[in-house]
Structure 1
Amino acid sequence: MHKHQAVEPDSDHVEKEQIFTTLSNQRRRWVLHFLQHHEEDRVQLRTLVDVLSEWEYERPADELSWKERKRVYTALRQSHLPKLASSGAIEYDRTRGEVELTDDAREFQLYLEYTPVDDVHWNQWYLWLTGIAAVIVGLAWLSVPPFANLSGMALATVLLGMFSTIAIVHTYTTRRNRIAASGGPP
């Protein structure tokens, strides 16, 4: 007969679970995103409602109905802000209607960026590109046609073009895949 032993949870695991649970809602992710990119430390609840309403309904706040804004306000005040506060990501002064990031919010930021399953493995692309560049340089050095006629400047231009192109694509892809891309809703 097997006896089951109680396993005590790992404190890191519990913390990660709390972070994942907190970040499981888009409005909570949007609150963190806005606070992280906002210039002032403290933000009024009214400002959060306006911004999140705009993001959610994809229209300027002044074009939204009272009911649409109220829906966001109620969800933030009763559910999302208290949950963010209890997880330690924000300080929420309910009486003043003020919200502020805590120092622990940095822990949440790590989980706001992700790599999709179908994302490109950039280290492999750069390795392949380096190999191709080495072959081109070797062929030019050995005077193998058509690389024999490349001047040093032409060779440098080709290599610079290759690496610049992949760097631009890498930068674009990384920005597109970020949940918390600055300048708009995550």
Structure 2
Amino acid sequence: MATTSESKPATGQDDQSREGEIFDLLSNQRRRYAIHYCKREDGPVTLGDLAEHVAAWELEKEVEEITSAERKRVYTSLQQTHLPTLERADVIEFDDRTIELTDEAAELDVYLDIVPGDSVPWGVYYLGLSAVGAVVMAGLWLEVVPTEPIPKLGWATLVFALFAVSSIAHVMQNRRMRLGELERPP
């Protein structure tokens, strides 16, 4: 059997490599802020406007309060380091003064499940909610849970309602925590 010198790389390795590159991109707050601003503006942005907003977010000031030195420091860092890095990853198109997101930027949302420090991760929450539902359902099957004040269908409806309300809250929080959704980045 003849072999060729051309061999396709394993898809899993390509996916892992791309995933690692994305996590590396998103590990820097200034790059996340840049992506947030570009998503929020939904079109080409100027480097000057981007630098002002990123500096304001980093320093927790209003854009009008940013000094020229603070703006220049962020401007230089974006121009020399962060924007070329995002461009090499095909997340933005950068032509020295104008920045625009590419279609590849849309795939970043999957990697940005931001969990606030005072919150329980949703996976753990749903696991706990499933355990509660399983206990209620097992109690109904074993006739340990009272069915006089609340019938079996009422208990099932209660468990369903808990999942429905939780799902709605989860969707709302994810939308709020997504880059480009709010005025300030999450």
- Could you state the TM-score of these two structures normalised by the residue count of structure 2? 0.69
Matched, 1:47 2:49: yes
2:92 corresponds in structure 1 to 90
2:137 corresponds in structure 1 to 134
Matched, 1:100 2:100: yes
TM-aligned CA distance change 1:68 to 1:175, over 3 Å: same
2:127 corresponds in structure 1 to 124
2:181 corresponds in structure 1 to 182
TM-aligned CA distance change 1:168 to 1:50, over 3 Å: same
> Do the aligned residues in 2 keep the contact of 1:50 with 1:61 (CA within 8 Å)?
yes
The equivalences for 1:24-103 within 5 A come to 24-39=27-42, 41-94=43-96, 97-103=97-103
Separation in 2, partners of 1:109, 1:145 = 43
> Do the aligned residues in 1 keep the contact of 2:94 with 2:100 (CA within 8 Å)?
yes
Which ranges in structure 2 are unaligned for 5 or more consecutive residues? 1-8
Offset at residue 59 of structure 1 (A): 0.8
Offset at residue 109 of structure 1 (A): 2.8
Offset at residue 36 of structure 1 (A): 2.1
TM-aligned CA distance change 1:148 to 1:138, over 3 Å: farther
> Do the aligned residues in 1 keep the contact of 2:87 with 2:94 (CA within 8 Å)?
yes
1:3 corresponds in structure 2 to none
> Do the aligned residues in 2 keep the contact of 1:89 with 1:104 (CA within 8 Å)?
yes
Which ranges in structure 1 are unaligned for 5 or more consecutive residues? 1-7
1:111 corresponds in structure 2 to 111
Q: Deviations over 1:28-60 (max 9, x none)?
A: 111112222323x21111221121112111110
> Do the aligned residues in 1 keep the contact of 2:45 with 2:100 (CA within 8 Å)?
yes
Separation in 2, partners of 1:151, 1:16 = 49
Task: Give the structure with higher Rg (CA).
Answer: 1
Q: Deviations over 1:146-173 (max 9, x none)?
A: 6413479976885576446644665577
The equivalences for 1:135-150 within 5 A come to 147-150=147-150
TM-aligned CA distance change 1:160 to 1:47, over 3 Å: same
Across the two proteins, how many residue pairs are aligned to each other?
Answer: 171
TM-aligned CA distance change 1:88 to 1:163, over 3 Å: closer
Letter in 2 for 1:108: L
